[in-house]
């Protein structure tokens, strides 16, 4: 029993039994002293997040599809420009009420219904953690080769059935190991990692960009390569490319409240994100296009992966200057992958797993669970055993877009910015978010409808033969999934009104519960005592004191 108690995380005292499953310190609204993310922190976050290997290579599939370089670059601008408002829109509740994604999801899916959405996002974050760590391991290999070339000839002592070699596993494990200290830091302090990344990695990227142009004596032939697609094929090729950029950000759209909950004021999570997302990702993809074009002039073929290209620089008896340059750039890409894994996967998994088992898991423990899953899942086997694996992970965004459609519609259209924050942390039937046994059937009907319209095309993305119409619908999966789920949710909420929505005649971002979040529980009372009639009367009295507006924080 003593060990059982020691395993429990810090949480408010005197909670009712059901509340043990709904709150701990990391699920409660973020206290003012931990709201440390300002304007420059959000800018640094997105500058840092955009500088990663996936972004560097994102235009490669577009050019290989048949687009010219400038058409591909326009698609990148449009894709990230279109997804930025969705990030800002879903981040808004977190910035206003300082709660994370799992808590925001309760407002639309219900206090218990939200757990399925949270589980989906958490499971994918754990899987992606392993995949991104595997890519980080390849960066470590190049960095070690630049320091000690003999690393490349390290004898293999692992069987073929392992799916990897001694050398590759060592590099993966080193990256996995150096990631562990970063998980320890709470969200309000991890912003310093993104600031470091926002300084170091762009310097490395610009250095790599200039180095390749000089080495190739120009920008290479891809810049002069015309499009091979024309007419409707070109149009659908551009739509597909735009949607690939949007789908690439679906996870960050969903978990946008996690970081916004730490913002000093709501505007810090508005314009910096709206501008930094398209600007940062477009610049990095441009670097990737030019560097790959230059590589074709150097080696006779386009090398889209910056890590593979750096490896080629080390293949032919490089000079000390070349080895140092490769070491610096590879080390910077290690920082880039580390930052991306923390922002997109570790913190997301931490927040989600916290909501699944708040009595024993907090954000820090959840991050370490994601790291362990990323190790034991043997990601190199998944990547090598199926060419469709990464396509499946990307295609999974259709499930996330339906969740986002419900959440954003609920906040802006149904409840119009009104929150009953106290009701987010209890399972009493009179609560706003109890719905039906804690589950909002309207949200789930909308969620399933958003998936169904894309499910046939999703099967096509994983290798099956499907009709062309289904493929076209799926190529716009984020908008079709988001749009259908939003429309169905609005319609069902109109036909079957949601508790609290009748009081929301105009859009106003307020907490109608009047909770202060001090003391033992969410509303500052001993919840066991609230079981008495007098305590119930006290709670009603507090709630009736008036609406506490949060507009003053904007």
* Stretch among 300-304, 381-385, 515-519 having the lowest mean pLDDT: 515-519
Per CATH, domain 36-395 is 1.10.4160.10: yes
pLDDT tens-digit series, residues 322-361: 999 999 999 999 999 998 899 889 999 999 999 999 989 9
pLDDT tens-digit series, residues 288-300: 999 999 999 999 9
Give bridge partners of residue 263 from the DSSP assignment.
37
Mean pLDDT of 527-538: 40
pLDDT tens-digit series, residues 360-373: 999 999 999 999 99
Q: Rounded to two decimals, what is the model's pTM?
A: 0.89
State the pLDDT confidence band at 384, using cuts at 50, 70 and 90: low
Instruction: Give rounded-to-5 percent helix, strand, coil for the chain.
Output: 70, 0, 25
Residues 6+ apart with CB under 8 A from 533: none
- Has residue 389 got a pLDDT over 60? no
- Has residue 540 got a pLDDT over 70? no
- Has residue 128 got a pLDDT over 70? yes
pLDDT tens-digit series, residues 492-530: 999 999 988 877 778 999 999 876 554 334 544 443 334
The CA angle 446-103-441, to the nearest 5 degrees, is 25
Mean pLDDT of 427-451: 95
Mean pLDDT of 393-407: 83
Assign 436 to helix, strand or coil: strand
Supply the pLDDT for residue 379: 87
- Has residue 309 got a pLDDT over 60? yes
How is the chain split into domains, by residue range?
36-395
pLDDT tens-digit series, residues 24-40: 999 999 999 999 999 99
Supply the pLDDT for residue 62: 92
Looking at per-residue confidence, does 153 or 445 come out higher? 445
């Amino acid at each position: 029993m003593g060990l059982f108690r020691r395993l429990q995380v810090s949480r408010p005292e005197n909670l009712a039994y059901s509340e043990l499953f709904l709150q701990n310190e990391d699920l409660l609204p973020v206290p003012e002293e931990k709201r440390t993310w300002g304007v420059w922190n959000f800018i640094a976050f997105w500058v840092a997040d955009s500088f990663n290997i996936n972004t560097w290579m994102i235009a490669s599939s577009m050019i290989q599809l048949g687009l010219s370089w400038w058409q591909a670059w326009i698609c990148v601008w449009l894709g990230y420009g279109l997804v930025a408002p969705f990030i800002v829109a879903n981040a808004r509740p977190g910035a206003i009420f300082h709660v994370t994604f799992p808590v925001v999801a309760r407002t639309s899916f219900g206090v218990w219904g939200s757990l399925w959405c949270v589980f989906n996002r958490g499971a994918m974050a754990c899987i992606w953690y392993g995949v991104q760590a595997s890519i980080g391991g390849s960066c470590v290999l190049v960095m070690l080769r630049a320091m000690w070339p003999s690393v490349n000839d390290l004898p293999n002592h692992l069987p073929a059935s392992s799916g990897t070699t001694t050398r590759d596993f060592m590099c993966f494990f080193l990256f996995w190991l150096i990631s562990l200290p970063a998980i320890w830091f709470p969200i309000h302090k991890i912003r310093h990692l993104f600031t470091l990344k926002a300084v170091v990695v762009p310097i490395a990227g610009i250095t790599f960009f200039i180095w390749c142009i000089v080495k190739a004596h120009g920008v290479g032939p891809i810049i002069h390569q015309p499009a091979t697609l024309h007419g409707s094929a070109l149009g659908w090729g551009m739509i597909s490319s735009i949607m690939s950029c949007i789908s690439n950000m679906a996870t960050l759209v969903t978990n946008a409240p996690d970081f916004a909950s730490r913002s000093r004021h709501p505007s810090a999570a508005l314009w910096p994100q709206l501008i930094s997302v398209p600007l940062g990702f477009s610049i990095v993809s441009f670097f990737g296009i030019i560097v790959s074009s230059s590589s074709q002039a150097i080696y006779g073929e386009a090398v889209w992966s910056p890590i593979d290209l750096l490896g080629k620089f080390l293949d032919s008896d490089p000079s000390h200057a070349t080895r140092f340059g490769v070491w610096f750039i590879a080390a910077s890409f290690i920082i880039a992958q580390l930052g991306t894994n923390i922002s997109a996967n570790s913190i997301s998994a931490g927040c989600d797993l916290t909501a699944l088992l708040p009595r024993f898991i907090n954000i820090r423990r959840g991050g370490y669970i994601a790291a362990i899953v990323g190790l034991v899942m043997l990601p190199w086997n998944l990547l090598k055993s199926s060419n469709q694996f990464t396509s499946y992970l990307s295609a999974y965004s259709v499930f996330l877009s339906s969740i986002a459609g419900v959440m954003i519609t609920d906040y802006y259209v149904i409840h119009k910015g009104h929150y009953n924050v106290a009701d987010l942390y209890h399972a009493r039937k009179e609560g706003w978010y109890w719905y039906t046994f804690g589950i909002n059937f309207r949200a789930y009907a909308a969620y399933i409808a958003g998936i169904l319209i894309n499910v046939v095309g999703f099967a096509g993305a994983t290798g099956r033969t499907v009709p062309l119409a289904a493929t076209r619908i799926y190529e716009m999966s984020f908008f079709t999934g988001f749009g259908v789920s939003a429309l169905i949710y609005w319609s069902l909420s109109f036909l079957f009104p949601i508790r609290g929505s009748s009081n929301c005649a105009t859009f106003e971002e307020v907490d109608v519960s009047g909770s202060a979040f001090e003391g033992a529980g969410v509303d500052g009372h001993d919840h066991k005592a609230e079981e008495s009639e007098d305590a119930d009367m006290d709670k009603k009295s507090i709630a009736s004191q008036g609406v506490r507006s949060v507009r003053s924080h904007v």
